[in-house]
């Protein structure tokens, strides 16, 4: 833990990681903005909402920057704010059937990302099957309960360790494992029902 604090402090030029100046914070935004947005996108499955929550995350972090104690890395601190925002939004928002359909349709219209690019040795058919399978998994993941979806997204979308997820989501590692186990079980069941 102390190594992480020292590493974070050295990275932004602080002697003691107590609070962040406006200048320090300004340097952190471009460094972490894409990952925060990616996490929120995988949790919300809505581009507009993910952008809004990303902005809100940095606004909240900026307002609280002087209270940052350095107990966790800056990235973990920002991810924790982002995840809490997503949970709060999920609790307060009323998601109608038509709103869900709009989000699903928008996801279907999305283009191919750089992550989806094929390896040089992969056939076009294999690439299409892989993309379709990934789409099915992430579509099914969108229907998971909020905490399961967050844990699943952080583990497989962001490739975070169980310990990192626990710190980010403010859960015990055992709770993270339970949510992940349930999420994978639910996805296997849902995807198994879809296949002939």
| Ordered DSSP codes for 109-167 | H----GGGPPPTTS-HHHHHHHHHHHHHHHHHHTTS-HHHHHHHIIIIIS---HHHHHH
With a threshold of 0.85, does the pTM exceed it? no
Instruction: Please tell me the predicted confidence (pLDDT) of residue 95.
Output: 47
91 Cβ neighbours under 8 A, 6+ residues apart: none
Distance (Å, whole) CA 68 – CA 75:
12
Instruction: Please tell me the predicted confidence (pLDDT) of residue 109.
Output: 52
Distance (Å, whole) CA 90 – CA 160:
22
Instruction: Please tell me the predicted confidence (pLDDT) of residue 194.
Output: 59
Instruction: Please tell me the predicted confidence (pLDDT) of residue 133.
Output: 73
Instruction: Please tell me the predicted confidence (pLDDT) of residue 10.
Output: 47
Do 122-191 and 1-94 have the same topology in CATH? no
Per-residue pLDDT of the chain (196 residues; tens, 9 = 90+): 334 444 444 455 544 446 788 888 888 889 999 999 999 998 888 888 899 999 999 999 998 888 888 888 899 999 999 999 988 887 765 444 445 445 545 555 554 443 343 344 445 555 555 666 777 888 888 889 999 999 998 888 888 889 999 999 899 999 999 999 999 889 888 887 655 4
List the structure tokens of 148. 């399961």
Instruction: Please tell me the predicted confidence (pLDDT) of residue 31.
Output: 92
Q: What element of type H or E holds 188?
A: helix 173-194
Residue 68 phi/psi, 5-degree rounding, is -60, 125
Q: Per-residue DSSP letters for 72-111?
A: S-HHHHHHHHHHHHHHHHHHH----HHHHHHHHHHHHH--
- Going from N- to C-terminal start, the domains of the chain cover 1-94, 122-191
Instruction: Please tell me the predicted confidence (pLDDT) of residue 25.
Output: 83
Instruction: Please tell me the predicted confidence (pLDDT) of residue 177.
Output: 93
Spell out the long-range contacts of 52-60 with Cβ–Cβ below 8 A and sequence spacing 24 or more: 53/82, 53/85, 53/86, 53/89, 54/82, 56/85, 57/81, 57/82, 57/85, 58/29, 58/33, 60/85
Whose tokens are 């499955």? That residue is 45
Candidate CATH numbers 3.40.190.80, 3.40.50.10490, 1.10.10.10, 3.40.30.10; the one for domain 122-191: 1.10.10.10
Candidate CATH numbers 1.20.1250.20, 2.40.110.10, 3.40.50.300, 1.10.1740.10; the one for domain 1-94: 1.10.1740.10
147 Cβ neighbours under 8 A, 6+ residues apart: 87, 169, 171, 179
């Amino acid at each position: 833990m102390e190594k992480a604090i020292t590493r974070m402090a050295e990275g932004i030029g602080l002697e003691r990681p107590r609070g962040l100046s406006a200048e320090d914070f300004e340097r952190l935004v471009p460094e972490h903005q894409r990952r925060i947005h990616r996490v929120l996108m995988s949790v919300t499955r809505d581009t507009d909402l993910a952008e809004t929550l990303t902005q809100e995350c940095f606004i909240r972090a900026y307002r609280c920057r002087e209270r940052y104690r350095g107990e966790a890395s800056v990235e973990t601190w920002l991810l924790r704010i982002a995840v809490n925002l997503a949970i709060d939004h999920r609790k307060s928002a009323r998601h109608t059937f038509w709103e869900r359909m709009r989000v699903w349709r928008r996801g279907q219209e999305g283009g191919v990302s750089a992550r989806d690019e094929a390896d040089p040795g992969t056939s076009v058919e294999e690439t299409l099957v892989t993309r379709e399978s990934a789409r099915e998994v992430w579509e099914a993941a969108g229907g998971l309960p909020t905490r399961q979806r967050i844990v699943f997204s952080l583990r497989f979308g962001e490739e975070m360790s169980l310990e990192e997820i626990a710190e980010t989501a403010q859960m015990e590692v055992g709770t993270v494992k339970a949510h992940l186990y349930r999420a994978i079980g639910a996805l296997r069941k849902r995807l198994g029902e879809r296949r002939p």
